[in-house]
């Protein structure tokens, strides 16, 4: 998969928050085989730069870092956070989040498009956390986003893909654009389902970080993503309402 001119070997992206310890986080990331980890600027905030120890661990992993604007509730706040993140992490990449609702953490699509347009004009390479809405997708692409990250379900809910028809339609609208399912996945089977629909990658955090064994779960997601992608490339059969015999009737013995 290629995003903003960078070729990625893994189609799994992993968050770095909520793990029992930084050491377990590092082991889970390694088990996932991912190329990209997301990091919140808030880990680097504070007068004493308390997040530097955590940033040192992330740096040692040798992976691409995707800073996010988690917790921002306006375009202005997200833009400012992205600008600071570029200075701290030294990358033009930003996972753009503008949150509309405290309970569902649904994206504020109006603020999202506004922030995306401004950040692209500043040279950022934006990964927008969005919905499956086609109108919003069109505006984000028009703003200069070269990847879209629609949610599967509310962040941390573990529900899987809540609107499969909508996600299929989005995939059909943009057959060549990198599309990443971001948020709401709880099980490896959810990740496999996303990949079977033709999505290019998945990004998750809570499902691994809060599992009983994050390292084992990270490995399970890695294998699920590979299996789902292989199934998509194999051109799976269409679902049917009626049975189709797998053994041909022609040539079978019968009695008058």
Enumerate the active-site residues. 95
The pair of three-digit structure tokens given for residue 69, joined into one six-digit string: 């604007």
Per the annotation, does 46 bind a ligand? Answer: no
The Cα diameter of the chain in Å comes to 91
Measuring CA to CA, how many Å separate 136 from each of 111, 112, 170?
11, 9, 11
- What is the length of the chain? 256
CA distance 155 to 78: 18
CA distance 29 to 57: 11
* Residue 151, CB-side half-sphere exposure with 13 Å CA sphere: 24
Cβ neighbour number for residue 240 with a 10 Å cutoff: 7
DSSP 153-203: SSTT-----S-HHHHHHHHHH-SSS-BEEES---SHHHHHHHHHTT-SEEE
The answer to whether the CB of 55 falls within 8 A of the CB of 26 is no
The pair of three-digit structure tokens given for residue 174, joined into one six-digit string: 């943009």
At a CB cut-off of 8 Å and minimum separation 6, what does 34 contact?
Answer: 10, 12, 13, 14, 63, 222
Per the annotation, does 205 bind a ligand? Answer: yes
Which residue ranges are tagged as binding site?
156, 183-184, 205-206
| Binding positions for 1-deoxy-D-xylulose 5-phosphate | 156, 183-184, 205-206
């Amino acid at each position: 998969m290629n995003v903003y001119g960078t070729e990625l070997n893994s189609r799994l992206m992993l968050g770095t928050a909520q793990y029992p310890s930084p050491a377990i986080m590092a082991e889970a990331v390694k088990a996932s085989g991912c190329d990209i980890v997301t990091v919140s600027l808030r880990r680097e905030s504070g007068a004493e730069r308390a997040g530097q120890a955590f940033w040192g661990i992330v740096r040692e992993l040798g992976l691409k870092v995707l800073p996010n604007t988690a917790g921002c509730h306006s375009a202005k706040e997200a833009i400012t956070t992205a600008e600071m993140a570029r200075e701290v992490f030294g990358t033009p990449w930003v996972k753009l989040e503008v949150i509309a609702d405290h309970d569902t953490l649904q994206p504020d699509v109006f603020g999202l498009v506004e922030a995306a347009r401004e950040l692209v004009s500043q040279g950022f390479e934006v990964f927008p956390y969005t919905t499956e809405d086609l109108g919003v997708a069109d505006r984000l692409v028009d703003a200069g986003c070269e990847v879209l990250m629609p949610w599967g379900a509310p962040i941390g809910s573990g529900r899987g893909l809540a609107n499969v028809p909508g996600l299929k339609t989005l995939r059909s609208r943009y057959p060549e654009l990198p599309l990443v399912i971001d948020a709401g996945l709880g099980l490896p089977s959810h990740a496999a389902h996303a990949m079977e629909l033709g999505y290019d990658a998945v990004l998750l955090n809570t499902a691994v970080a809060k599992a009983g064994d994050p390292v084992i779960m990270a490995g399970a997601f890695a294998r699920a993503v590979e299996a789902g992608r292989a199934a998509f490339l194999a051109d799976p059969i269409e679902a049917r309402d009626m049975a189709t015999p797998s053994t041909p009737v022609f040539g079978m013995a019968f009695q008058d």
